Structure 1
Amino acid sequence: MSAYVVIDLDIENPAGFQKYVDAVTPLIEKAGARNLVVDDECLVLEGDWRPNTLVIHEFDSKEAALAFWDSPDYEPLKALRRRHSTVSVVAAQPR
């Protein structure tokens, strides 16, 4: 069953962050996942959550999302992402 990784992204250094995007995109594809949403103009309908940029990735399962997240190939990219942005990330799977 598909799982979704939802990211509230605040990019602090666009040029540096682009290096992360360029490197992580092939890894996401290699993991069998895909980008569903990248939106920096979200429409808040209710509540206090105001993501700067909302990103949603679809993985085959929560296990696949976790395997990607914990993969040795992704570890150095996490550090690169953290240098150029701040994120909150959750993974969810429909019932």
Structure 2
Amino acid sequence: MTVYCIAQLRFTDRPAYDRYQAAFMPVFLKFQGRLLAADEAPQVVEGDWDREKLVLMSFPDEAAYRAWAESPEYQAISKDRVAGSEAVVLLVKGFG
């Protein structure tokens, strides 16, 4: 079953986050994920939103997501994401 990873970010150290962002795609492309959206100016149409960036990714299943998120390659670069932002990350099951 397809799963979606939604990351909502607030920047705390932009240079650290920029290092993460520069290293992200080469690592991400080694896995089965698809980057669906990455927007630093999403339009809030209802409610309050206190973040600065939204990232939406899909994976064929939770095992594929975990293979990426727990990989040594991703763990190495994610240190800059953690240092450079406060994040809320959700894993959502798709239909079918």
8 Å CA contact retained: 1:62, 1:92: no
- Partner AA of 1:2 in structure 2: T
TM-score where L is the length of structure 2: 0.84
Question: What percentage of residue pairs aligned between the two structures are identical?
Answer: 27
Q: How far 1:48 moved relative to its partner? A: 2.8
Which segment drifts farther, 36-45 or 83-92? 36-45
User: How big is the alpha-carbon RMSD for the aligned residues of Structure 1 and Structure 2?
Assistant: 1.6
Q: How does 1:68-79 map to 2 (within 5 A)?
A: 68-79=68-79
Q: For the residues of structure 2 that align with 1:16 and 1:48, how far apart are their CA atoms?
A: 27
1:90 aligned partner: 90
Q: How does 1:15-94 map to 2 (within 5 A)?
A: 15-94=15-94
SS of equivalent to 2:5? strand
Q: How far 1:13 moved relative to its partner? A: 2.5
TM-score where L is the length of structure 1: 0.84
**Structure 1: unaligned runs, 5 residues or longer:** none
Q: How far 1:37 moved relative to its partner? A: 0.8
Q: For the residues of structure 1 that align with 2:14 and 2:82, how far apart are their CA atoms?
A: 12
Q: Deviations over 1:12-62 (max 9, x none)?
A: 222221211122211111112121111122222222334311111111212
Aligned residue pair count: 95
